[in-house]
Structure 1
């Protein structure tokens, strides 16, 4: 583990550091909350699980919500169930729950060798790519409006919900207030906005 000392501060490089990761996960909150008008109470976790008759996991989806935006963390379906429509059912269930929580838009990131075409078939539009993924692949970012007419309402002067700051992977997430006034579930602590491609 190399060390560098400068002006009384030590710099060390190593492998996984769970304590450091936990501390850093809380670091940007104050800045992000001020920039977006959100708070810790505006964050939420979301999960969808598909379980077979024998109790085995068929597939699942994890996501975070923040400021009316739902971001998928992971979406996985067991290989022998991938032609049965389970991925679409999981995604649709997560979108319905996100709408119930007040979300009007959704995003996801997927490597080119995984599922960008799956997301496109479900109404997601590509917003950008990051090259340099091993094997010559790219990280594809996709976006979808969950509620039609949102852009039109915003252009008429309605205040749009805050979106992610420029660096979406480090931004906190939130659970919005549903249209019926119910508050979504509060996340126990902040997690990365999009921990990695799905």
Structure 2
């Protein structure tokens, strides 16, 4: 992609080793300031691992907390351990830990080929759908109040 020149400034794909991280950090600092620090509340990650009897990781649920919300970011369980109730137990535990930290709601997104029905069965409600993907694939945005 050629550079796009705007007066003495340019748009480019060129970057050094720290450009990405520096840009993300500057956005984060702006967001902290714009929310009067609420973005950092409670500000603790919740990472749960599902391990088999040999201590091998067979699943994980990685969550972040900000603005008193629990964001379920990455959730995976190995095929042979699915549909046995482990996912439900992991979600319930993440929600419990989130509530302990002061989170008042949880939210996530998932695709139609992943697990929207699982989240709905766990009490999450769809508040948005992106249906612009090819082959009928949809992305669901879900939320749940934590009581």
User: So what's the TM-score if we normalise by structure 1?
Assistant: 0.67
Output the CA distance in 2 between the equivalents of 1:41 and 1:88: 27
Q: Indicate the residue corresponding to 1:95 in structure 2.
A: 95
Tell me the SS of whatever aligns to 2:45: strand
Output the CA distance in 2 between the equivalents of 1:17 and 1:145: 42
Q: Indicate the residue corresponding to 1:53 in structure 2.
A: 53
Q: Indicate the residue corresponding to 1:130 in structure 2.
A: 130
User: So what's the TM-score if we normalise by structure 2?
Assistant: 0.88
How large is the Cα RMSD of the aligned pairs? 2.0
Alignment of 1:41-190 (within 5 A): 41-42=40-41, 43-147=43-147
Aligned in 2, Cα 1:138/1:40: closer, same or farther, shift over 3 Å? closer
Aligned in 2, Cα 1:56/1:134: closer, same or farther, shift over 3 Å? farther
Q: Indicate the residue corresponding to 2:10 in structure 1.
A: 10
Output the CA distance in 1 between the equivalents of 2:128 and 2:78: 28
Q: Indicate the residue corresponding to 2:28 in structure 1.
A: 29
Output the CA distance in 1 between the equivalents of 2:3 and 2:34: 35
Q: CA deviation at 1:124?
A: 0.4
Whether the 8 Å CA contact 2:38–2:67 is kept in 1: the answer is: no
| Gaps in structure 1 of 5+ consecutive residues | 148-198
Tell me the SS of whatever aligns to 1:91: helix
Larger RCO: Structure 1 or Structure 2 (Cα < 8 Å, ≥ 6 residues apart)?
1
Q: Indicate the residue corresponding to 2:19 in structure 1.
A: 20
Tell me the SS of whatever aligns to 1:113: coil
| Gaps in structure 2 of 5+ consecutive residues | none
Output the CA distance in 1 between the equivalents of 2:132 and 2:21: 28
Q: CA deviation at 1:102?
A: 0.8
- Aligned structure 1 segments of 4 or more residues deviating by more than 6 angstroms: none
